[in-house]
Amino acid sequence: MSKLCMGLFSGSLDKLTAAGVILSGAAADDMDVEVFVLLQGARAFIKGNENKIDNLAEASFLKDEFLSSLEKLKVSTWYEFFEMSKDMTNVKIYICSLAGKIWGGEKLEDFNDLVDDICGIGEYLTSAEEADIHMFI
């Protein structure tokens, strides 16, 4: 079984959605996946923020069109992609401890149910080094 390591730096809707699509593809291929949520990405995983994320990192002037297309096409939310993927295969989601603290999350209970643990950057680097595929979003 191959392993995907993803560094998820962005907390924007377009990049969270892209990460969710990639994650669901990896899960469908029965890959082991470790997602390390860094800096701005951690804000999206704070309990209660799941539906508050609506900014775009790329082409922000297309926000309304992007949101309308997602709705029209009945595309799952980024959260649903992550949730489905965790149900399909071995997906672990870790919050970088510094990133969590920046957004007020110091304990595992501060984050939504997708999060498995809080860790340091060394664990991310080790996972990236050992992975068959490493992505940074």
Give the model's confidence band at 134: pLDDT under 50 very low, under 70 low, under 90 confident, else very high: very high
Q: What is the CATH number of the domain that holds 16?
A: 3.40.1260.10
What is the residue range of 61's domain? Answer: 3-136
Domain count, the chain: 1
- Say which amino acid occupies 50: E
Span 39-67, average pLDDT: 90
**Lowest mean per-residue pLDDT among 1-5, 43-47, 60-64, 94-98:** 60-64
Q: What region, left, alpha or beta, does residue 42 occupy, with left being phi > 0 and alpha being psi -120 to 50 degrees?
A: alpha
94-129 residue pLDDT tens: 999 999 999 999 999 999 999 999 999 999 999 999
pLDDT at 53 over 80: no
d(Cα 22, Cα 20) in Å, to the nearest integer?
A: 5
The confidence score (pLDDT) of residue 60 equals: 84
Residue 60 to residues 8, 17, 25, 54: CA-CA distances in angstroms? 19, 15, 26, 10
**Could you give the CA distance from residue 54 to residue 77 in angstroms, rounded to a whole number?**
11
